[in-house]
């Protein structure tokens, strides 16, 4: 029989013409990477507004322009219950002075912003400003709410 089928002894499924070579694919499938990046983008878009200072304060409206800077400023907040916070941590006024002096010793050129609820009395706000200034800070600003809802800073000089 001259036209017989040649069987391979390697246990393959075909003869010498049906051998397949597996060539590695050199293309990168970017679809999963794009999916992951879009999910991360959505997560960051949702969580970014939540990363602001967490003490709820009803800021007064102002038409002042927003003040920019290189470093992250310290934020002292007074809420409607007349409680004083440095960042998210509640302090008594005397403790706040000690903490601010310690921070000033480490970073004397640190900026400090004061956020006060619009229902806070002016005298209380001046007490807190006095503690901040007595701690050695000279770069002091008052935060307010712009008409569009963006936070604004009105720089205060002494």
What CATH number is given to the structural domain containing 150? 3.30.420.270
Mean pLDDT of the chain: 77
Q: Is 41 a residue whose pLDDT tops 50?
A: yes
* Out of 18-22, 41-45, 105-109, 131-135, least confident range: 18-22
Q: Which residue has the tokens 């007490």?
A: 127
CA distance 27 to 136: 61
DSSP-assigned beta bridge partners for residue 84: 78, 91
Higher-pLDDT residue of 32, 18 = 32
> What does pTM read for this prediction?
0.52
Evaluate whether residue 48 is within a structural domain.
Answer: no
Segment of 23-27, 46-50, 116-120 carrying the highest mean pLDDT: 116-120
Burial of residue 145, with CB atoms counted within 10 A of its CB: 0-12 exposed, 13-18 middle, 19 or more buried: middle
Evaluate whether residue 126 is within a structural domain.
Answer: yes
Number of Cβ within 10 Å of residue 97's Cβ equals 17
CA distance 103 to 74: 9
pLDDT digits over 71-108, tens only? 677 889 998 888 899 888 899 988 988 999 998 898 88
Domains of the chain: total? 1
DSSP E strands, 39-150: 61-62, 74-78, 84-86, 89-91, 112-116, 140-146
CB 63 within 8 A of CB 147: yes
Higher-pLDDT residue of 146, 73 = 73
CB 47 within 8 A of CB 130: no
pLDDT at 40: 94
CA distance 118 to 128: 15
**What domain range includes position 103?**
54-156
Q: Is 145 a residue whose pLDDT tops 60?
A: yes
How would residue 39 be classed by pLDDT, with cut points 50, 70 and 90?
A: very high
Q: Taking Cα atoms as reference points, which of 145, 76, 142, 135 lies closest to residue 108?
A: 135
pLDDT at 34: 93
What sign does the CA torsion over 91, 96, 100, 103 have?
A: negative
Evaluate whether residue 147 is within a structural domain.
Answer: yes
Evaluate whether residue 136 is within a structural domain.
Answer: yes
Evaluate whether residue 1 is within a structural domain.
Answer: no
Evaluate whether residue 124 is within a structural domain.
Answer: yes
Evaluate whether residue 138 is within a structural domain.
Answer: yes
Evaluate whether residue 115 is within a structural domain.
Answer: yes
DSSP-assigned beta bridge partners for residue 151: 145
Rounded to an integer, the average pLDDT of 10-32 is 70
């Amino acid at each position: 029989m001259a036209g017989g089928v040649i069987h391979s002894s390697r246990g393959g499924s075909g003869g010498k013409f049906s051998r397949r070579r597996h060539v590695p694919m050199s293309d990168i499938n970017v679809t999963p990477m794009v999916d992951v990046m879009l999910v991360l983008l959505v997560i960051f878009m949702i969580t970014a507004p939540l990363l602001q200072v967490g003490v709820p304060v009803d800021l007064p409206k102002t038409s002042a322009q927003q003040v920019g800077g290189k470093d992250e400023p310290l934020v002292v907040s007074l809420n409607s219950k007349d409680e004083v916070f440095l960042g998210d941590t509640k302090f008594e006024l005397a403790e706040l002075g000690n903490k601010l002096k310690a921070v000033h010793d480490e970073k004397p050129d640190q900026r400090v912003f004061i956020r006060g609820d619009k229902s806070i009395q002016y005298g209380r706000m001046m007490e807190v400003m006095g503690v901040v200034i007595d701690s050695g800070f000279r770069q002091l600003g008052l935060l307010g709410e712009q008409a569009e809802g963006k936070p604004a800073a009105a720089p205060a000089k002494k």
